[in-house]
């Protein structure tokens, strides 16, 4: 994926191609950026030019913040059930355009067509779910220690918030953040990933069509070094929600910390699937294939480690390799394709670099090369790759974010859990076993935010909290019952109807 500023010569040459061009979305319409540079988005499977976007800058963010700030009083005063109705309309529009948008996700991001449709479906599901929060927004009521006095809490919107999202779920993850912020009554400055801005633009247009008022949702494309940094450090943005790489997340966190600005981070993972000696082997292999090679391994919850009991190790490896070799690579918009390309040339180089590391420190048993052949030569395709390795190698501990699976043999359950926990991340985990006692021990002992029993490490549902421990983030959770936590403040209220001065915590004779 060619991403970045486009030279004037290249821009002039490519303008002969009829592709859409976008500025920045501020105050309900597309306007010219303060920058004169452009970002090109291209299909990672074919190199086809899909669109051009403004390579925005700090000045664009400042304008977006001003629009969001002006829109906040009216939007926050709009009853939450009415805000929910707008999100329901957005879900209905997305449902009507699911096939079209799913195809776009597959083409621009590179995930297989059924996964592209699933990306859009997740946005539909979340908007439908979070719309209902407009009739809840629950607070608490508690007894007071004094007579004729009541105490309660309710939620208030944070204000203008920033949402910074990655490229691997270009519709679903923005929907999680934007939907929760909108139902909370916040207004938004949204920075999508530069690799998938067209998906983000279509989502913003759907929300505007559904009735989100001008200025409530603003989108600025551009690099993290300018657009992302301004979102993090602008004092009028009251909170930031970030999903992406660990180093970028740390930078956002540190910039926001200077202003005591709350930041919710969802970062990396090195997710283990444990296969015990009593597991349903075929089911476990199905889970490993889907978890490791779905989305070409480009999920924060992807199965990047397969931890296998020694008693079934040989059987698992034989079947796993056989099944992996049958996976079909190709244009992700072809319904017959199982694995599409990685997202960009940069991502290709990163993953291939890890594969070279793996070849030096472990045993390559499947794949290990850039995929070539008819229909593959123009794209960023990598063969689904499997290494046998010992715990402690780089490929067994570092996030790769590609179609690479490290398989580790262990002696027993205790060693499996110890290996699973001995990484810097703690997002998702999985164990395949028929022993209910062992399953519940895994639930208790795995140091992660998500655990699956007899299912792969991927497959989160929107009505449950999503997030992890350790360097996966800073402890917050998105989606589910906790979705609005990062976008609301809790206000405590006391109402004294006694007609006299009552002194709490003061002894009365």
Please give, one letter per residue, the 3-state secondary structure of 476-494.
CCECHHHCCHHHEEEEEEE
Query: What is the rounded CA–CA span in Å between residue 263 and residue 413?
Result: 37
Q: How far is CA 500 from CA 144, 177, 412, 492, 497, in A?
A: 15, 46, 68, 21, 8
The reply to whether 338 falls in a domain is yes
pLDDT at 508: 60
The C-alpha angle 475, 480, 177, rounded to 5 degrees, equals 75
C-alpha span between 259 and 233 (Å, rounded): 7
Rounded Cα distance between 175 and 472, Å, is 20
For residues 207 and 88, give the distance between their C-alpha atoms in angstroms, rounded to a whole number: 10
Same domain, yes or no: 93 and 147: yes
Residue 496 is assigned to a structural domain of this protein: no
- Say if residues 85 and 305 touch (Cβ distance below 8 Å): no
> Does residue 391 sit in the same domain as residue 351?
yes
Write down the residue that tokens 């998906």 correspond to. 199
The distance from CA 31 to its chain's CA centroid, rounded to whole angstroms, is: 27
- Examine the domain organization and report whether 189 and 71 are in the same domain: yes
Catalytic residue among 300, 383, 399, 478: 300
- CA 424, CA 87: separation in Å to the nearest integer? 37
Q: Mean pLDDT in runs of 10 for the chain (509 residues)?
A: 38 62 97 94 97 97 98 98 98 98 98 97 98 94 94 97 98 98 98 98 98 98 96 98 94 96 96 98 98 97 98 98 97 96 96 98 97 93 98 97 98 98 98 98 98 96 96 93 95 96 77
Let me know whether 378 and 479 are in one domain. Answer: no
Burial of 247 (0-12, 13-18, 19+ CB in 10 A): exposed
Q: What is the pLDDT of residue 225?
A: 93
Catalytic residue, candidates 266, 383, 388, 478 = 266
Q: Specify if 445 maps to a domain.
A: yes
Query: Are 169 and 260 part of one and the same domain?
Result: yes
| Residue 506 CB coordination number (10 Å) | 7
Distance in angstroms (rounded) separating the CA atoms of residues 317 and 324:
10
Q: Say if residue 258 is in the same domain as residue 341.
A: no
The domain in which residue 482 lies consists of: 8-43+50-267+473-491
The backbone region for 139, taken as left when phi is positive above 0, alpha when psi lies in -120 to 50, beta otherwise, is beta
Rounded-to-integer distance, Cα 509 and Cα 497, Å: 22
Q: Quickly list DSSP for 57-105.
A: -HHHHHHHHHHHHHHHHHHHHS-HHHHHHHHHHHHHHHHHTHHHHHHHH
The residues with which 426 forms a beta bridge, in sequence order, are 469
Angle value at C-alpha 272, between 328 and 246, nearest 5 degrees? 90
Give the pLDDT confidence score for residue 274 in this predicted structure. Answer: 98
Residue 429, strand partner residues: 451
Domain assignment of residue 502, yes or no? no
Q: What pLDDT, on the 0 to 100 scale, is given for residue 504?
A: 81
User: How many domains does the chain contain in total?
Assistant: 2
How does DSSP assign 373-437, residue by residue?
Answer: STTTTTS--B--EEEE--TTSHHHHS---SSEEEEEEESSHHHHHHHHH-SSEESEEEEE-S-HH
Question: Please, which residues have CB within 8 angstroms of residue 136's CB and are 6 or more apart in sequence?
Answer: none
3-class DSSP state of 135? helix
Q: Both 358 and 426 in a single domain?
A: yes
Say if CB 30 and CB 217 are below 8 A apart: no
pLDDT value of residue 8: 47
Q: Does the residue 458 lie in any domain?
A: no
Lookup: tokens for 264: 């919710």
> 381 and 325: one domain?
yes
CATH at residue 309: 3.40.309.10
Provide the Cα torsion 183, 188, 193, 197; round to 10°.
90
The pLDDT, as a whole number, for residue 509 is 56
> Residue 12 CB: number of other CB atoms within 10 A?
10
- Shared domain check, 297 and 160: no
- Which CATH number covers residue 86? 3.40.605.10
Indicate if 226 and 331 belong to the same structural domain. Answer: no
Neighbours of 116 (CB within 10 A): 29
Q: Would residue 255 count as lying in a domain?
A: yes
499: in domain: no
Residue 3 has a pLDDT of: 34
pLDDT of residue 1: 27
Helix (H, G, I), strand (E, B) or coil at 155: strand
Q: Is 300 a catalytic residue?
A: yes
Distance in angstroms (rounded) separating the CA atoms of residues 493 and 156: 12
- Candidates 102, 127, 128, 137; CA nearest to 117 is 102
Same domain, 283 and 257: no
Indicate whether 465 belongs to any domain. no
- Chain-centre distance of CA 504, in angstroms? 46
Do 113 and 26 reside in the same domain of the chain?
Answer: yes
Q: Looking at residue 260, what is its pLDDT? A: 95
């Amino acid at each position: 994926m060619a991403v970045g500023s486009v030279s004037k010569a290249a821009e002039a040459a490519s303008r002969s191609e009829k592709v859409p061009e976008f500025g920045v979305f501020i105050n309900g319409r597309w306007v010219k950026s303060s920058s004169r540079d452009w970002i090109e988005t291209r299909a990672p499977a074919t190199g086809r030019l899909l669109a051009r976007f403004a390579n925005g800058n700090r000045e664009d963010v400042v304008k977006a913040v001003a629009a969001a700030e002006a829109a906040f009083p009216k939007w926050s005063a709009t009853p939450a059930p009415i805000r929910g109705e707008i999100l329901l309309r957005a879900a209905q529009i997305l449902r009507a355009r699911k096939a079209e948008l799913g195809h776009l996700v597959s083409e621009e991001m590179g995930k297989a067509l059924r996964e592209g449709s699933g990306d859009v479906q997740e946005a539909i599901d979340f908007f439908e779910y979070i719309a209902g929060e407009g009739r809840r927004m629950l607070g608490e009521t508690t007894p007071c220690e004094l007579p004729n006095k009541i105490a309660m809490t309710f939620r208030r919107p944070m204000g203008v918030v920033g949402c910074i999202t990655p490229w691997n779920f270009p519709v679903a993850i923005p929907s999680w953040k934007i939907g929760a912020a909108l139902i909370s009554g916040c207004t938004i400055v949204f920075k999508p990933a530069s690799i998938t801005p067209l998906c983000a633009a279509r989502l913003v247009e759907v929300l505007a069509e559904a009735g989100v008022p001008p200025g409530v949702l603003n989108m600025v494309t551009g690099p993290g070094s300018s657009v992302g940094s301004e979102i993090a450090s602008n004092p009028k943005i009251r909170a930031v929600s970030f999903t992406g790489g660990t180093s970028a997340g740390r930078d956002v966190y540190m910039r926001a910390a200077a202003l005591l600005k709350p930041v919710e981070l969802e970062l990396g993972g090195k997710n283990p699937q444990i296969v015990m000696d009593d597991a349903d082997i075929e089911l476990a292999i199905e889970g490993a294939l889907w978890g490791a090679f779905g989305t070409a391994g480009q999920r924060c919850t992807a199965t990047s480690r397969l931890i296998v009991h020694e008693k079934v190790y040989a059987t698992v490896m034989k079947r796993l390799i056989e099944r992996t070799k049958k996976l079909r690579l190709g244009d992700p918009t072809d319904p017959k394709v199982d694995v599409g390309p990685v997202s960009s040339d940069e991502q290709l180089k990163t993953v291939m670099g890890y594969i070279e590391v793996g070849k030096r420190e472990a045993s390559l048993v499947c794949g290990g090369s850039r995929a070539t052949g008819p229909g593959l030569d123009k794209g960023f395709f990598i063969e689904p790759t499997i290494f046998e390795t010992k715990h402690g190698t780089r490929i067994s501990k570092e996030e790769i974010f590609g179609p690479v699976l490290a398989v580790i043999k262990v002696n027993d359950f205790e060693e499996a859990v110890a290996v699973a926990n001995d990484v810097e991340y703690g997002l998702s985990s999985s164990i395949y076993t028929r022993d209910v006692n062992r399953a519940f021990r895994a639930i208790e002992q795995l140091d992660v935010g998500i655990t699956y029993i007899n299912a792969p490490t991927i497959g989160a549902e929107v009505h449950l909290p999503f997030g992890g421990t350790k360097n996966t983030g800073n402890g917050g959770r998105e989606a589910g019952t906790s979705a609005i936590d990062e976008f609301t403040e809790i206000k405590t209220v006391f109402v004294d109807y006694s007609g006299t001065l009552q002194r709490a915590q003061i002894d009365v004779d």
